[in-house]
Amino acid sequence: MVDIRWFAETAHGALVVPRLQALGLSIVQTGDEPAKIVVAVGNNVATQAWRFAVRHRSEIVQLIWDLPPWRLGQGRYDHIWSVNGTLIALPRLGRRYAQRAGMYSRLRYVASRARVVWLPSEATADDVRTKFGLHGELMHYCYNSDHFTPGEGDRSPTETPTLLSVSRLMPMKNHEAVIRAGQRLGMAVRIIGPGPLRDELQRQADDLGGRCSIESGWLTDDEVLAAYRQAAVVVCPSRFEGMGVSGLEAVGCGTPVVASNISPHREFLGSVAHFFDLDDDASMDRAIHSALLAPRPTANDVVAYSIGAAADRLYKRLAELLR
């Protein structure tokens, strides 16, 4: 029997696995070999992890990234039953969660029966208490510190300075604020990420007459790395985040960061980012000017969120759970 069966909804959720293995934990990410503990990193793998845990009578550690307010609204979870590991939902009569009610109801069911619930930020911890009625442990995760590193000779002083934003093209990401800032400040704008708002954002950019590139879809890691290194400033304008990784990636590359003044950005970037108030264009302009004039950040500014630091935190807690 191995120590841990690790479930992650993306490669990012498994970044720490090799370091944890090097520290002495036996971890597998595939197959059906029994494990003492099941670790589910992400909302979308909770059901899969639950089936495995029931089958092998394992304990679960569930990490909840976030609980977006537009998904849950003012609703409540559906009633859930576990039948041989299959989670069956009985839709609530009356006010349910606003979107994906079954998925979030199953997530809550698994979290309420987990040995431990890990929460990557204070904001997520607050939401889980408010929306799920559950308490968990704050467990800061990491960005890909092995990949997002400074480069030499990537920035050309003759190029038009570029504002870069890397995140999904969704309303809560607030990309339109970056487009307006580029037009006001005479800077190019580059937005990278998948999502439904690509055409709408491009129309806004065209109407304003600014120089704006919107790349709808995830680029390769190397292409995103090059974009971070070439940008004059990375802007993280979100109205909501569970953790917010792009700012950490940018700092790891040595690029100045401007971020909206929301709790997760303060928590992870408080010592290094230049903050602006949401829906205040003048505040954003001041933050961008400050970022352009300030010394460039370094990876040491976010070393607490490196893969190694996160693995050390997780290892300490997992070792306790395995005793």
> For the segment 39-82, what is each residue's pLDDT rounded down to a tens digit?
999 999 999 999 999 999 999 999 999 999 999 999 999 999 99
Looking at the structure, do residues 194 and 257 belong to the same domain, yes or no? yes
Neighbours of 95 (CB within 10 A): 10
Q: How many domains does the chain have?
A: 2
The CATH number of the domain holding residue 57 is: 3.40.50
For the chain, the three-class secondary structure string (H helix, E strand, C coil) is CEEEEEEECCHHHHCCHHHHHHCCCCEECCCCCCEEEEEEECHHHHHHHHHHHHHHCCEEEEECCCCCHHHHCCCECCEEEEECCEEEEECCCCCECCCCHHHHHHHHHHHHCCCEEEECCHHHHHHHHHHHCCCCEECCCCCCCCCCCCCCCCCCCCCCCEEEEECCCCHHHCHHHHHHHHHHHCCEEEEECCCCCHHHHHHHHHHHCCCEEEECCCCCHHHHHHHHHHCCEEEECCCCCCCCCHHHHHHHCCCCEEEECCHHHHHHHCCCCEEECCCCHHHHHHHHHHHHHCCCCCHHHHHHHCHHHHHHHHHHHHHHHHC
- Residue 254 pLDDT: 97
209 domain-assigned:
yes
Looking at the structure, do residues 88 and 208 belong to the same domain, yes or no? no
Looking at the structure, do residues 85 and 218 belong to the same domain, yes or no? no
What's the CA gap between 208 and 85, in Å, rounded? 54
> For the segment 173-214, what is each residue's pLDDT rounded down to a tens digit?
999 999 999 999 999 999 999 999 999 999 988 888 878 999
Looking at the structure, do residues 244 and 311 belong to the same domain, yes or no? no
Looking at the structure, do residues 236 and 291 belong to the same domain, yes or no? yes
- Residue 155 pLDDT: 55
> For the segment 88-133, what is each residue's pLDDT rounded down to a tens digit?
999 998 899 999 999 999 999 999 999 999 999 999 999 999 999 9
Q: Are 302 and 272 within 8 A, CB to CB? A: yes
Looking at the structure, do residues 227 and 268 belong to the same domain, yes or no? yes
157 domain-assigned:
no
148 domain-assigned:
no
Looking at the structure, do residues 259 and 214 belong to the same domain, yes or no? yes
> Can you tell me which residue has the tokens 């460039």?
296
Say if pTM beats, i.e. exceeds, 0.85.
yes
152 domain-assigned:
no
Mean pLDDT of the residues in the chain: 95
- Residue 219 pLDDT: 87
153 domain-assigned:
no
> For the segment 234-259, what is each residue's pLDDT rounded down to a tens digit?
999 999 999 999 999 999 999 999 99
Q: Is the pLDDT of residue 277 over 80?
A: yes
Report the half-sphere exposure of 71 (CA within 13 A, side-chain side). 16
Q: Are 241 and 265 within 8 A, CB to CB? A: yes
- Residue 49 pLDDT: 98
- Residue 153 pLDDT: 55
Looking at the structure, do residues 269 and 312 belong to the same domain, yes or no? no
Looking at the structure, do residues 239 and 317 belong to the same domain, yes or no? no
Q: Rounded to an integer, what is the distance from CA 141 to the centroid of its chain?
A: 9
Looking at the structure, do residues 228 and 252 belong to the same domain, yes or no? yes
Looking at the structure, do residues 213 and 313 belong to the same domain, yes or no? no
- Residue 178 pLDDT: 97
120 domain-assigned:
yes
149 domain-assigned:
no
Residue 44's closest CA among 1, 99, 89, 107? 107
Q: What is the mean pLDDT of residues 14-23?
A: 98
95 domain-assigned:
yes
> For the segment 126-169, what is each residue's pLDDT rounded down to a tens digit?
999 999 999 999 999 999 999 999 987 555 454 789 999 999 99
Looking at the structure, do residues 138 and 56 belong to the same domain, yes or no? yes
Query: Could you list the residue range(s) of the whole structural domain that residue 40 is in?
Result: 2-142+306-322
- Residue 158 pLDDT: 45
Q: What is the mean pLDDT of residues 283-296?
A: 97
- Residue 54 pLDDT: 97
Do β-strands 59-63 and 35-41 pair in parallel, antiparallel, or remain unpaired? parallel
